[in-house]
Structure 1
């Protein structure tokens, strides 16, 4: 059940990140990957700031979106790709 939770959160967060970053999304599999990696990054940032790691689905998705947006921005800076697809 835990893996299914990560997949659902990853898919939602990846999709939302694709829309926020003015792209067309990354496709279902890459949305899940971006969302899961974003959740890890966002969770690390939130714990570093002193926030608790518990808050339900909405909190988890928001943290994952924040992390995924940061991940996407960093990838764009590193690759120099300003296109809307990344």
Structure 2
């Protein structure tokens, strides 16, 4: 593997880790903002991480997050974390 390939791969891994962490924060922020929909800190974080990963890949695939660099990826993770938390809280209520 060439050095350039490894650097690009590491940047992608670092971006993904940052976005998953931001998704966890986004899940907790969404849990706070969506009164009555919080799943507790741990589960808000778990759902936020999953949603952040999904949001990062889906919005990147659509060209929304990828073009804006790390900031776009962070926004995608926040949106994905919040949306998934909202959906899980709706399912949990039924």
TM-score (norm 1): 0.59
The change in CA–CA distance for 1:19 and 1:60 in structure 2 (over 3 A counts) is farther
Partner of 1:26: 40
The change in CA–CA distance for 1:46 and 1:6 in structure 2 (over 3 A counts) is closer
1:11-67 deviation per Cα after TM superposition (whole angstroms, max 9, x unaligned): 32122111232245621x3233122101122123212322217633x5444222211
Structure whose CA Rg is larger: 2
- Number of matched pairs: 79
Residue 69 of structure 2 is aligned to residue 55 of structure 1: yes
Structure 1 segments, 4+ long, off by >6 Å, are: none
The structure in which a higher percent of residues are helix is: 2
TM-score (norm 2): 0.55
The change in CA–CA distance for 1:43 and 1:64 in structure 2 (over 3 A counts) is same
